[in-house]
Amino acid sequence: MYRTEKDVMGPIEVPADSYYGAFTQRAKINFQISGIKAHQEFLVALAIIKKAAALANMELKQLDEKLGNAIVNAADEVTEGKFDPYFVLDVYQAGAGTPFNMNCNEIIANRATEILGGKLGQYIVNPNNHVNMAQSTNDVIPTATRIAILILLKELIGEARKFEWSLRKKAEEFKPILKVGRTHWEDAVPVTLGQEFEAYAVSAAKDIERMIKFAEELKELGIGGTAIGTGITTHPKFHETIVRKLNELTKLELKTSKNLIELTQNYNCFVSFSSSLKMLAIDLFRFANNLSIMNSGPKAGISEILLPDVEPGSSIMPGKINPSIPECVIMVSFDVMGKDKTVELAAQYSILELNVMCPVIAYNILQSMKILISTLKMFRELCIDGIQADEERCRELLDKSTAIATALNPYIGYQVVSKIVKEALKNNNSIKETILKYGLIEEKDLNRILSPEEMTQPKEADKEIMFKIKNSEGYKKILENL
């Protein structure tokens, strides 16, 4: 069953029981691209804007209260999700997002018309004249995008903080475990496993602060600027009034702007915020990749840590277990980095008075936030919380490596240490064994020099030990052979 609606292009058939109307029906036919629909937070933000606009216009005596209250009630129902099935449009659509704006306008207009006793398509409440009063797609869609991001940010920050604290707990647990630190894929100097995890936690904390900082600019709203930011068709006090109403409805500390024209043209605030998501993704990639390397084995790799087993690793190799959770994290990280590039390119496409790429910006930022929330939760619960350290393996690799050599530099010098390292590698001996063989350092002094306290933090060399070494026959002998 269909009903016939008319618009400037002529008559069009719309499903009889549909809350959307002619504009949405045309857009639905035109833009069959991905099958991906707008995020829930975006739809909620749209409805909140329509409610705030009705409240502002009623306060300013621009909108009849009977019609305005019907819009408010209909917008509340949209916010509750009652009309989600009627938001049918693809995220890839006409520039600026006019189909999104009109889809919401038509749903609210039809529901408000019902509330007032009318029938679907009768439009006692008009989508353009009443629901869209003092608005344009050009200020509604970027405002909805900002509000949707800020709504979702609370969940993302909450999950990121849990992730950070999970890393900090592991840092404390692994505090005493000494291991090889590596640079350029080679043995470098000793580090504790706890120090590595503490560094990861600090990076996560910086990511959180960066997202919060870059979100601040999103709070400045261009709503009320209408088509190009001049505010045509609005009451002189509409901008400040609707921002106040939006704050009452959202508690997001939203701000008015002194230049709505600039906000209509410039979408760099989205680039900044998207870059903070990219930087979080870069860190997640780094964590996941490093954990996979340290977990490698179980017999022929590094195997300093043991990641939780979550699933069989192979369809052909019996007993093989892969770092499946880190691999998924890396996939998500790549996707977020790619979406950030889309946002960057879309923000460049500002032609004269308007950037028309807001729909693709909204989709990519909100999608990145959604998958990061789920990824942080998965990474924490199924990987980080269950990591175990193989302390014996960490010590074994450290003892076999050249990583402790640098700690000896203040005591016997770079050239002597280099000779010791070269000989140890040649004879397949440890550094410690080679030093004791030459009688360079007494074993108790060597143990002190090579203790975790001495090798993993700034520490002044022990002058008494230095004096004993420099006056030993072993040291004098090795110097003669350099």
Residue 423 or 217, more confident: 217
Q: Residue 164: pLDDT band by 50, 70, 90 thresholds?
A: very high
Helix (H, G, I), strand (E, B), or coil: what is residue 77?
Answer: helix
Q: Which of 34, 276, 314, 333 is catalytic?
A: 314
3-state helix, strand, coil in the chain (%, to 5): 65, 10, 30
Virtual CA dihedral for 162, 167, 168, 171, nearest 10 degrees? 170
Contact at 8 Å (CB) between 258 and 293? no
Give the C-alpha distances (Å, rounded to integers) separating 258 from 24, 225, 255, 267, 409: 34, 11, 10, 16, 61
What are 215's two structure tokens?
Answer: 């979100």
For tokens 């590596």, name the residue.
182
Q: 354-355 and 350-351: which strand pairing?
A: antiparallel
Candidates 79, 87, 75, 32; CA nearest to 51 is 75
Contacts of 151 (CB under 8 A, 6+ apart): 41, 44, 45, 250, 252
Query: Do 7 and 22 form a contact (C-beta atoms < 8 A)?
Result: yes
Q: How far is CA 215 from CA 160, 254, 419, 424, in A?
A: 15, 11, 55, 55
* Integer Cα distance of 295 and 215 in angstroms: 36
Cα separation of 443 and 387, whole Å?
35
How do residues 166-202 score in pLDDT, each as one tens digit? 999 999 999 999 999 999 999 999 999 999 999 999 9
Question: Cβ neighbours of residue 54 under 8 Å, at least 6 residues apart?
Answer: 63, 68, 69, 71, 72, 75, 130, 131, 133
Concerning whether 350 is annotated as a catalytic residue, the answer is no
Task: Please give the span between the terminal C-alpha atoms of the chain, in angstroms, as a whole number.
Answer: 96
* Average pLDDT, integer, range 8-22: 97
Give tens-digit pLDDT for 70-98: 999 999 999 999 999 999 999 999 999 99
Taken as a whole, the chain contains a residue count of: 482
**238 neighbors 60 (Cβ within 8 angstroms):** yes
Domains and CATH numbers, the chain: 2-133 (1.10.275.10), 145-217+262-391 (1.20.200.10), 406-480 (1.10.40.30)
Q: How many CA atoms, within 13 angstroms, populate the side-chain half-sphere of residue 425? A: 10
How far apart are the C-alpha atoms of 403 and 169, rounded to whole Å? 26
Which is more confident, 140 or 405?
140
Q: What is the pLDDT confidence band of residue 482, given thresholds at 50, 70 and 90? A: low
Window from 252-261, 340-349, 444-453 with minimum mean pLDDT: 444-453
Structural tokens at position 342: 């889309």
pLDDT given for residue 403 in this prediction? 86
pLDDT exceeds 80 at position 368: yes
Model confidence at 452, pLDDT cuts 50, 70, 90, reads confident
Any bridge partners for residue 335, and if so which? none
Token output for 296: 């490698």
pTM of the model: 0.94
Q: What is the mean pLDDT of residues 147-174?
A: 98
Question: How many Cα atoms sit within 13 Å of 408 on the Cβ side?
Answer: 27
* Residue 386: predicted pLDDT: 98
Q: 436: number of CA atoms within 13 Å, CB side? A: 11
Using the predicted structure, report yes or no on whether residue 405 has a pLDDT greater than 90: no
257-306 pLDDT per residue, tens: 999 999 999 999 999 999 999 999 999 999 999 999 999 999 999 999 99
Mean pLDDT across the chain: 95
